[in-house]
Amino acid sequence: MPDALDNPDRLFLIIGALLYGAAFIAGLLPLLLRRKYPPALVSTLTAMGFALQTIGLNLRGLEVKGCPLGNSFEIAQFIGWSLVLLYFIIGPVFRIRLLGFFVAALAALGGVTCLIPGLDRPYPHSLSSGNPWIELHATLALFSYGLFALVALVALMFLIQRHGLKEKKYQGIYPYLPSVEKLDTMGRRLLLAGLLGLTAALLFGAIFYLRNSHLVPVFKLTVTCLVWAGYLGVAILQLQGRLVTRRHAIASILLFLLALLALWPVQNARSLPETGAPSSAAEDSANH
């Protein structure tokens, strides 16, 4: 792993992750001590972390001459960045005070990838430059993962609030959570938005696939379609009223975890050379 001090992009990403962690701790301590929750402090620290993470990803993008999505480390960072960006866009609409707290926690967890050896593997630069369909496909897909991350966080808050109501707990974290009805509605809307984003990503990817099907690994295509089918199935069952409240929340969390786990074998598959296939930047870009 390259030394962070010799790589400004990694240094900015590490400091950004530390600020996300500080935002989480700043919110956690008052909740544990049953003191007033500081939303302004949590939001400020999260915004500072987001700013530094943005700088780090921008520097990495300039280095690779494209959207930095070439290895597992960059993908984790981009999903975390998308999550925080969506929080700042969507948060004011839903007005959920603790959403920033949960977002900071997940973003800090994603930032830990800065410290995991082997994730930031080198790869040929300009993997997706020159092909707007592939870059648009990858960006939309990971933005949809950011929406699915928000769905999972809202589902977690739903389960916590439901437990508090069932056990008649009214202190600590529970007073800061909205009603289960509001959380359920928010989760449904975010899931549909994420599903639309992933559908658009697949459509843009299909434009490249129809012309260059030999460059797209079957394993990568299969896993991506399975993730899409999983969320589509949850949305359909939800609309039919067969997957509601607690079961819908649990399904949203499990599906997001499975979608994240699916990224790693896909990323490993793209690094394996294909027999008889040319080794080129176009081939590599198809695997994003």
DSSP string covering the chain: ---GGG-HHHHHHHHHHHHHHHHHHHHHHHHHTT----HHHHHHHHHHHHHHHHHHHHHHHHHHTS-S-SSHHHHHHHHHHHHHHHHHHHHHHHT-TTHHHHHHHHHHHHHGGGGSTTSS----S-SSTT-HHHHHHHHHHHHHHHHHHHHHHHHHHHHHHHHHHHHT--STTGGGS--HHHHHHHHHHHHHHHHHHHHHHHHHHHHHHHH-GGGS-HHHHHHHHHHHHHHHHHHHHHHTTSS-HHHHHHHHHHHHHHHHHHHHHHHHHHTSPPTT----HHHHHHT-
Q: Residue 151: its pLDDT value, please?
A: 94
Q: Residue 145: its pLDDT value, please?
A: 92
Q: Residue 215: its pLDDT value, please?
A: 66
**And the tokens for 76?**
């984790």
Q: Residue 3: its pLDDT value, please?
A: 54
Q: How far apart are CA 58 and CA 110, in angstroms?
A: 18
Please identify which residue in the block is written with the tokens 């896909």: 266
- pTM higher than 0.85, yes or no? no
Which of the residues in the chain have pLDDT under 50? 1-2, 126-129, 271-288
Q: How far apart are CA 254 and CA 45, in angstroms?
A: 29
Task: Return the exposure string of 169-180: e unless at least 16 CB atoms fall within 10 Å of the residue's CB, then b.
Answer: eeeebbebbbeb
Neighbours of 157 (CB within 10 A): 25
Q: Residue 274: its pLDDT value, please?
A: 39
